[in-house]
Structure 1
């Protein structure tokens, strides 16, 4: 088992890693307190919370050149997204702060014939420039919506910008966008050390470019490594896997694929075109909410059913008229909701996770569906934790969202998200019309290629993860130090899970544990020889004091919903079962001895 030092990327030496090592309980507290001994060691972090160094470097360069003294910049993939961020800040920041905002757009210089091969990449960057006082508001938008630019896109476009190939675009463009395409392979080494100019960038003191040198630069830097013809097949393969119509380790082909095969989703007429890809899971949730506001009444509040993931709740609260929280996902919560509906309350949509995070509670989707049909609200189900290899929630939902960053990818080195529109749903036609008008494909081509490769063996990985998770649960449930183990197989809401469980499905790779004594929890966490950091659904076991990280400023509030502040969440990986069980037994032994690391 590798040893991860404080602040190291998880996986190690991975330029676009999704997690970061916080190996002790004390380091997690230090992270939440913003203490220098932790913050100064971080090489990366979860991308919606920690702005990648590649992005920071490009943003700083643009702010210095195009902004006033001391200004900052935040990068987005398109003009429309950047304008949404600017609108968000203007509606929340004081007038003297919001007045500092401006939006700029960099696009490919198509007047240069040497750039023709890059047009299918749609290499573009939009930036919101602002005074430092506006940064906290812009960062909220970045974190909540997942609309921020991909680190791979930023790195790619930064090199183009330094070479003089991206230029400031002063011409407003139509919101309609052609689908962006991208590379077949991304073979050059990546680096977060982006402070130095590219060795291959060709410019001269006057800002002009020598055509021959530029042509050579493009060939050496981009031409041989990239085949844009494979990006659309990669997107198609991802969508088909999500639809449950493509299973197994299939190589890509440029040849047109046949119509979608019978799927495991249990919904007739489901098409590949009903699956939409996004740069991360939270962006899928944000856009599902935005679409429902666009096709229904923008005055209706939404419902967050179950203990909320922090940014899902913030989206429902901040990007519309608000929401009502039913934080237990219990039958009594449904009783209360039904009473409100009978009394005349009406809602836009109900958002829930299946199972929920971190207590793995499963809402009663059968009853929720009946209420939605009777009282006319949409149902949006986040299946990230259950995964569509274990459960099928689409028949109960109008929209199913998922974070592909998690076990669908597994390798913890690329972000992604998806949303499925249920063709049997009441709002299907309206949602499809909205998507035709408003959907922008902002999923960067290089990220697509990584996601497609990583997900080829998704279905086979799930079986090992399911087995390992159950074995670890058995160890934890038999230990006297443990107060509670949360896992769908042992949950009071197991019956709700079984309604959606596929015939060959298991109970997933996520579980949570509470110790009787906090000291034992701390000693266990410090001793466990797994990767330790944010995120879940990795191919390796990843442990986190989840509530401490996600709700540090609201621990009492979380406790009011039965979520213990000392809860430890375990995302189980693909290790040999006997080995990983031994790792947990050793950590429990250390907890018995009260061994804490400094």
Structure 2
């Protein structure tokens, strides 16, 4: 991939890109330190950490119309999601910031006709209006839960709002904004606080900043988005086919749909009764959510609902993706954390269980991120059956083309944003229930209460089209990843390669690996010195930024980005500060790309 300038979207010129370019080691540190030369040049960011500028523009207009000076708005796709945000702020923030909390619900004007392709209930936005002091807590909820509004939904609904079609529920509609005073659109650039909670170093005032050229930017975004649609697909997406698109995605996740599909067909392939290695898996056992973290959050909410009368702690097993642990710690009675996820940790867990301690669920990743180690799912399953807790496995990194973890789990969650999509331009997540699991009926009942279908129709259509060649892409990514591992493992400057095929936990991976399955497209490595690591990273001719699972190779100093405020803590669990994480793509000649970067690393010590 050609060099991408600092702060530009990855992929370039993509209105709803999921990643952003941080092309040098120094720029990653500058990002974490909030240095202006980095943050002032960032046009976008990972959607749960940055609030997309189209969402900020909509929020600014809502405050201008229905709020007052000094307030900011955080947008959600449903009233219940917004209510959870308000409850979180009241629970976590000082009482002094509670007074300004306001929840607004915007709905389609009953006097207006609903667009033919959309149901009126999807055309609603809930806004939490809060002070600048409360905003960092609202931002925490946004980041942890994945409940925030999609940027595509925000763009669409913002247009309705400007035209006076989206109004306060039970209120007389006002004239459209075009007939009111001109309101500039919200900020063009983004800033951020700490890498974990968005509090330390956060300047909340930026969220209400206005720019005179933002309206022009918004029009350009709309034109660019339309152009992308036409170039990528040859025509605009037909959202009237969204129900079939959801079914196609679910069948693809179940492994029963591997070929291209005409969504206009009246009947989709029948679900195989033995899909994913379990009996009686049905389409309605698969739930689609707006992002992978929301799959974990929703599953946790369901488990809290099941154990409402007898609250129990959860277990985070293995080095965690940051927000998974935050969800378990901040929502409900808390969590026991096993940071290494090894046999000794399982021994300790078994000791706790034998002494009568009860848990609601164990959450783990397979493999883990960024060390690519794999928990012993067979032993975990035995303990869960014996002591009555649910097993929730995040298979995002392994993916279901390579491994089958559902027989060991009660729930399998995944971020579809990653390799399932590959194009790095749309978010999504999934929840799969094991119909043979001990918690199946309880989970079905709980999800009937806590699950909301808030996956925006345009995002569904992008995800369905992006995922059509998922299986063939995985095969090529697997091969490329093994090639890179061979290059790195053979080089004297590389001290460690982390990959399921190379790790001590490989037997645990093999127990779940499918016939023909590979070892995945994610790997990490460390070099002898920090100077060598920096030289290697800066010279590497790949895209460089957050996220993983893209069709192009994407590299990041993962520990710097995810754990900058807690590097010593990460190191105590075997995750070195200078570790590099490499998400492998479909390119050719990656061997040469990594060989040249290693040569640069060697030269820096000469």
**2:597: which partner in 1?**
587
8 Å contact 1:162–1:197 — kept in the other structure? no
Aligned counterparts of 1:134 and 1:59: Cα–Cα separation in 2? 15
Aligned counterparts of 2:568 and 2:422: Cα–Cα separation in 1? 33
8 Å contact 1:75–1:128 — kept in the other structure? yes
TM-fit CA distance, 1:165: 1.1
**1:449: which partner in 2?**
461
SS of the counterpart of 2:332?
coil
2:342 pairs with 1:342: no
2:440 pairs with 1:420: no
**1:66: which partner in 2?**
66
2:399 pairs with 1:379: no
**1:240: which partner in 2?**
251
TM-fit CA distance, 1:252: 1.9
**2:202: which partner in 1?**
none
TM-fit CA distance, 1:249: 2.6
2:542 pairs with 1:522: no
TM-fit CA distance, 1:130: 0.6
TM-fit CA distance, 1:516: 1.1
The change in CA–CA distance for 1:111 and 1:197 in structure 2 (over 3 A counts) is: farther
Q: Which runs of 5+ in 1 are unaligned?
A: 172-190, 200-223
Aligned counterparts of 2:295 and 2:118: Cα–Cα separation in 1? 27
Which segment is superposed worse, 114-123 or 237-246? 114-123
Aligned counterparts of 2:342 and 2:582: Cα–Cα separation in 1? 23
**2:215: which partner in 1?**
195
Aligned counterparts of 2:255 and 2:401: Cα–Cα separation in 1? 8
Aligned counterparts of 2:119 and 2:260: Cα–Cα separation in 1? 31
Aligned counterparts of 1:536 and 1:116: Cα–Cα separation in 2? 36
Render the CA deviation track for 1:312-360: whole Å, top value 9, x for unaligned.
0000000010001001110011001101111111111000000000000
The change in CA–CA distance for 1:301 and 1:87 in structure 2 (over 3 A counts) is: same
Aligned counterparts of 1:25 and 1:507: Cα–Cα separation in 2? 28
Aligned counterparts of 1:110 and 1:118: Cα–Cα separation in 2? 14
1:458 to 454, 465, 470: 470
SS of the counterpart of 2:134?
helix
**1:559: which partner in 2?**
571
Structure 1-normalised TM-score? 0.90
8 Å contact 2:108–2:120 — kept in the other structure? no
2:282 pairs with 1:274: no
8 Å contact 1:121–1:228 — kept in the other structure? no
TM-fit CA distance, 1:257: 2.4
2:276 pairs with 1:265: yes
**2:422: which partner in 1?**
410
TM-fit CA distance, 1:124: 1.2
The change in CA–CA distance for 1:113 and 1:367 in structure 2 (over 3 A counts) is: closer
Aligned counterparts of 1:565 and 1:65: Cα–Cα separation in 2? 46
Aligned counterparts of 2:79 and 2:416: Cα–Cα separation in 1? 25
8 Å contact 1:159–1:198 — kept in the other structure? no
SS of the counterpart of 2:509?
helix
8 Å contact 1:244–1:263 — kept in the other structure? no
Aligned counterparts of 2:500 and 2:115: Cα–Cα separation in 1? 53
SS of the counterpart of 1:195?
helix
Structure 2-normalised TM-score? 0.89
SS of the counterpart of 2:92?
coil
Aligned counterparts of 1:524 and 1:197: Cα–Cα separation in 2? 36
Aligned counterparts of 1:117 and 1:240: Cα–Cα separation in 2? 23
Aligned counterparts of 1:306 and 1:551: Cα–Cα separation in 2? 15
TM-fit CA distance, 1:114: 6.7
**Counterparts in 2 of 1:89-100, with a 5 A limit?**
89-100=89-100
**2:442: which partner in 1?**
430
8 Å contact 1:415–1:447 — kept in the other structure? yes
Render the CA deviation track for 1:31-87: whole Å, top value 9, x for unaligned.
000000000000000000011000011011111222221100000001111011011
Render the CA deviation track for 1:246-285: whole Å, top value 9, x for unaligned.
1123332340325312555100000011000000000000
Matched length: 552
TM-fit CA distance, 1:164: 1.1
**1:574: which partner in 2?**
586
**2:519: which partner in 1?**
507
* RMSD between superposed Cα atoms in Å: 1.9
